[in-house]
Structure 1
Amino acid sequence: MRRLPPRALAALTTAGLLILAGCGTETEDPGGPAAPADGARTIRAQQVMQLTRTHEETGMTLLEGPAFGPDGGLFVVDVTAPAGKPKVMRVDVRRKTVRAVHTDARGAYTSAQFSPYDGRLHLTDYAHGEIVSLAPDGSDPRTFFSGEIDGARMNPDDIAFDERGHLYVSDSRGLSEGAEHGRVVRIDRDGGKATVLADHLAATNGVSFDEEYRGLWISELTQNRVSYLRLSGGGTGGEGAERGEAGQGGEVTSRHTAIRVDGGIAQTDSIAVDADGNLYQGLHGRPAILVYNRHGERLATVEVPAGAKGLESATNVAITPGGTRAYMTVSGPGGGYLYAFDALGKGTRQSNGG
Structure 2
Amino acid sequence: MIPMRRLRFRPLAVLAALGTLALTGCGTDTRASGAGTAGPGRTVTAHQFMRLTTTHQATGMTLLEGPTFGADGRLNVVDVTAPAGEPKLIRVDVKRKTARTLFTDRRGAYTSAQFSPYDGRIYLSDFASGAIVSLAADGTGPRTFFSGEVDGARMLPDDIAFDRDGHLYVSDSLGMSEGEARGRVVRVDRDGGKATVLADGLAATNGIAFDTDHRGLWISELTENRISYLPVVERPGMSGRHTAVRVDGGIAQTDSIAVDADGNLYQALHGRPAMEVYSRYGEHLATVRIPGRTEGLESATNVAITPGGTKAYMTVSGPAGGYLYTFEALAKGVRQSNGG
TM-score (norm 2): 0.91
- Provide the residue aligned with 1:287 in structure 2: 273
Query: Which secondary structure does the structure 2 equivalent of 1:232 belong to?
Result: coil
SS of the residue 2:240 aligns to: strand
Tell me the distance in 1 between the aligned counterparts of 2:237 and 2:12: 44
Alignment of structure 1 residues 101-250 onto 2, 5 Å: 101-232=102-233
- 2:330 and 2:203 mapped to 1: Cα distance? 29
2:298, 2:86 → 1: CA distance?
22
Inter-CA distance 202–6: structure 2 relative to 1 (3 Å threshold): closer
Residue 259 of structure 1 aligns to a residue whose secondary structure is strand
Counterpart amino acid of residue 20 in structure 2: A
Native 8 Å contact 1:330 1:338 kept in 2: yes
Unaligned runs of 5+ in 2: 1-5, 26-36
Structure-1 residue corresponding to 2:20: 15
Alpha-carbon distance in structure 2 between the residues aligned to 1:213 and 1:85: 36
Deviation at 1:232, TM superposition (A): 2.0
Q: Distance in 2 between matches of 1:39 and 1:267?
A: 18
Q: Percent identity?
A: 71
What's the CA shift string for 1:54-103, capped at 9, x where partnerless? 00000000000100011111000000000010000000111100000000
Q: Which amino acid aligns with 1:11?
A: A
How far did residue 17 of structure 1 move? 4.2
Q: In the TM superposition, what are the counterparts of 1:296-335 in structure 2 within 5 Å?
A: 296-335=282-321
Residue identity in the other structure for 1:41 = R
Query: What is residue 59 of structure 2 aligned with on the other side?
Result: 58
| Residue type at the aligned position of 1:101 | L
Distance 1:304 1:45, change over 3 A: same
With structure 1 as the length reference, what TM-score do the two structures score? 0.88
Letter of the 1:132 partner, please give it: V
Instruction: Tell me how far 1:215 sits from its aligned partner.
Output: 0.5
- Report how far residue 147 of structure 1 moved: 0.5
Runs of 4+ in 1 over 4 A off after TM superposition: 1-7, 250-253
Structure 1, unaligned stretches of length 5 or more? 22-35, 235-249
CA RMSD of aligned residues (A): 1.8
The 1-side partners of 2:204 and 2:253 are apart by 11
Q: Which has the higher contact order (CA 8 A, sep 6+)?
A: 2
Counterpart of 1:15, as a letter, is: T
Structure 2 distance, partners of 1:309, 1:209, is 34
Partner of residue 260 from structure 2, selected from 274, 286, 305: 274
Q: Give the aligned partner of residue 28 of structure 2.
A: none
For residue 338 of structure 1, the aligned residue among 318, 324, 328 is 324
Deviations 1:97-131 (A, max 9, x none): 00000000010000000000000000000111000
Q: Aligned pairs, how many?
A: 323
Contact 2:9 2:319 in 1 (8 A): no
* Paired residue secondary structure (1:117): coil
8 Å contact kept, 1:232–1:252? no
How has the CA–CA distance of structure 1 residues 17 and 137 changed in structure 2, closer, same or farther, with 3 Å as cutoff?
farther
